[in-house]
Amino acid sequence: MTDDRQDSARAEGERKTRQRRRGRRRALLITALALLMALCGAAGYAYRMLTLPVRLAEPQTVDILPRTTFRQVATRLRQRGLVPNAFMFRLYGRATGKAARVKVGEYEVTNGMRPVDILDLLISGRTKAYWVTIPEGKWVSETGPFLREHWPEAAAAFPALTRDVARWKAEFSFIAGPTLEGYLFPDTYKFSKGATGEQILTRLLSTFRARCVAAYRAQPPADGRAFHDVLVLASLVEAEAKVAAERPRIAGVYLNRLRRGMKLECDATVLYAKGERVTRVLYRDLEVNSPYNTYRYPGLPPGPICNPGYAAFAAALHPETHGYLYYVAKGDGSHVFTQTFAEHRAAIQAIRGK
């Protein structure tokens, strides 16, 4: 009987041990499930915080300044309602290594972007860009002010940069004039807010090379004129022609006068020599002593008198062939073209008599 009682006690002990083990396993399982559910919940929450699209009525600009920490970036985005959770945004940025790759600049966040998209934008360097139009026919001195609204520092640096011709000739060997006049290609450009004067000038000169220099090399003028001479003539055409169809004809007038040894007598060169724009050139203005004054000095001026557009350059490159030596403005932007001085005087009297 003693042995039976011992066996029974041993069995009861083993049963209780098994129960305790099952209890511990059940507790561990419940704990593991609870942790898993918590992790899943946290993962789900994190996923939502990183993929929740932002709702914006209009795009918002985010400016990342130098020496801004990623914590500051996340906090600023949260304050502006662009990310729902700054901590999750920071955690994601650190875990992926993207936090260290955020680039300085001005970025545009648009409707529907998610926090993960915003972070990708901040490391992409695709900063917000602004448009600027440089009109045809402007002087170099008139170009910088077009940059003031979005690039005030570049605009302030422009005068000094454009005077340093030797610096730019090292990269753009086609520059032959005494200044950068004529080489700043007029067009509509897009630059980031942080663009420097050097970057903007490089873009203008590169575009000039891609358009005008390439056109000259592809189909040089039949009379063998040098590129510089074509460009100077183009600047005269740009300054004088108000009607697009007349550009090649005006270019032909100046070439005819050059071939005959006549002075060009271009009013626009007088304005450039004076350094001021006036609505009417007076007789006393014609006496200004400058190599750019084509009333006093024969031949083309030493350099362009403005920055011509491509149409004026194309007209100077391939001008119209005709016998005209004179033209006079009619008042509506168009001109009367004549072959003799007598016809020219008659055209002036006819226009003034109206």
- The pLDDT tens digits of the residues spanning 205-253 come to 999 999 999 999 999 999 999 999 999 999 999 999 999 999 999 999 9
Domain locations in the chain as residue ranges:
60-127, 130-216, 227-352
Residues 64 and 122: beta-carbon distance below 8 Å: yes
DSSP string, 271-294: HHHHTS--SS--GGGGG---TT-T
Q: Burial, 184: exposed, middle or buried (Cβ in 10 Å; 0-12, 13-18, 19+)?
A: buried
CATH code linked to domain 60-127: 3.30.1490.480
Q: Return the pLDDT at 26.
A: 62
Q: Burial, 327: exposed, middle or buried (Cβ in 10 Å; 0-12, 13-18, 19+)?
A: buried
| Positions in the chain short of pLDDT 50 | 33
Query: What is the Cα–Cα distance from 351 to 135, expressed in whole angstroms?
Result: 30
Query: What is the Cα–Cα distance from 51 to 40, expressed in whole angstroms?
Result: 16
Q: What is the pTM of this model?
A: 0.75
Q: Return the pLDDT at 321.
A: 95
Q: Return the pLDDT at 111.
A: 93
Contacts of 15 by beta carbon, 8 Å cutoff, 6+ apart: none
Phi-psi region of 345 (alpha: psi -120 to 50; beta: other; left: phi over 0): alpha
